[in-house]
Structure formats: C-alpha cells, structure tokens
Amino acid sequence: MDHKKFMDIALAEAKTGLAEGGLPIGAILVENGKVIGRGHNKRVQDGNPVAHGEMDCLRNAGRRPNYRNTILYTTLSPCMMCSGTIVQFKIPKVVIGEAENFEGNIEFLKSRDVDITLLNDADCTVMMKEFIENNPELWNEDIAE
C-alpha cells in the first residue's frame, strides 16, 4: 500500500480548500486501492461547522452498506467529531498525515480497535503550521477552542 501516493491526494484536497479561502485539511476514502471519496474542510466555504475534511469526504462518498474494506486518509489527526464518526462507521484503518499541529484522538481511536498509521508527513505539517500561524482565530473556531 503506497500511503504517500494516497496522502498526496488528500494533501491536494487540503490545498484546494486553502485556495478557496478555507482551512487546509483534506481527506480521501480508499477501498481496495481505489479512491471512492474525497473532500476537504468547508467551514468557511459553506458556513458549515461540521464539514471537517473527513466529514466532507464521507459525505461525498455517499451511502454505503458498510466501510469494512476502507481506509481513511486525512492530512491532520482527527478531532473528536471525526474520530467518533470513524468509530461509528466502523472504518477499520486510518492513515494520518501529521499530529504535530493537532494531537487529535489517536489513543481513543486505538482503544476502539482502529488501526492507525501516522506518516509524520512534512508537507502536511508545514502547510498546517503556516496556516495556524496566519489564521489563529479561524483555527481555534474550527476546533472549538
């Protein structure tokens, strides 16, 4: 499984969000090596506080009977909303770009038997670090801090 190849697609989603004036967080859903959903944070673009990257991706992937064979890639460690969703939907594996700018809920996910791979991807980390430094209020709003 070429995690970097898929993470770069999630990163491209994040950069699309940034170009739209939004928060640069992207996600894709992969099933048997195929991308079946992609999305990015749309808080600003849609005025929608629940449209985190992972949520937008799952919305775009549409209705499914189950998520048994899926992997969720996300550029940033999932918040509690997105982590709860991963557990509820029984997504078995999550690949995370980085957890340096936001720790997220990796231990919670592991405690619920979600397999986690943390890439420590420098491209994801630098992008998010710059964004938070330049947009602290928007970032704090997004994670309700």
Contacts to a copy of itself by CB under 8 A? 43, 47-51, 55, 58-59, 61-67, 79-85, 87-90, 141, 143-144
| Minimum separation from the CB atom of position 9 to a copy of itself (A) | 20
Of 46, 47, 42, the C-alpha closest to 22 is 42
**Which of 13, 20, 31, 54 is flagged as catalytic?**
54
Q: For a copy of itself, which is the closer residue by CB, 9 or 84?
A: 84
What strands lie across the sheet with 34-40, from one edge to the other?
A: 34-40, 26-31, 70-76, 93-98, 115-118
Q: For a copy of itself, which is the closer residue by CB, 56 or 121?
A: 56
Of 32, 107, 44, the C-alpha closest to 77 is 107
| Minimum separation from the CB atom of position 80 to a copy of itself (A) | 4
